[in-house]
Amino acid sequence: MISERPSVERRVLSALKATPARVPVVLGPCGSGRTSLLLHLRHTVGANRCQYVDVEQIATTPEGFLQALSLHSP
**Burial 16-34, CB ≥16 within 10 A → b, else e:** eeeeeeeebeeeeeeeebb
Would you tell me the crossing angle of helices 34-45 and 6-17 to the nearest 10 degrees?
50
Q: Has residue 6 got a pLDDT over 80?
A: yes
For 12, 39, 58, the CA distances from 23, given in Å and listed in that order, are 9, 16, 19
pLDDT the model gives residue 14: 92
Is-contact 23 15, C-beta < 8 A? Answer: yes
Number of domains into which the chain is organized: 1
Domain assignment present for residue 1? The answer is no
Over residues 12-65, the pLDDT tens digits come to 899 888 999 888 888 889 898 888 888 888 888 887 877 777 777 777 888 888
Structural domain range at position 59: 6-72
Confidence of residue 1 (pLDDT cuts 50, 70, 90): very low
Domain assignment present for residue 56? The answer is yes
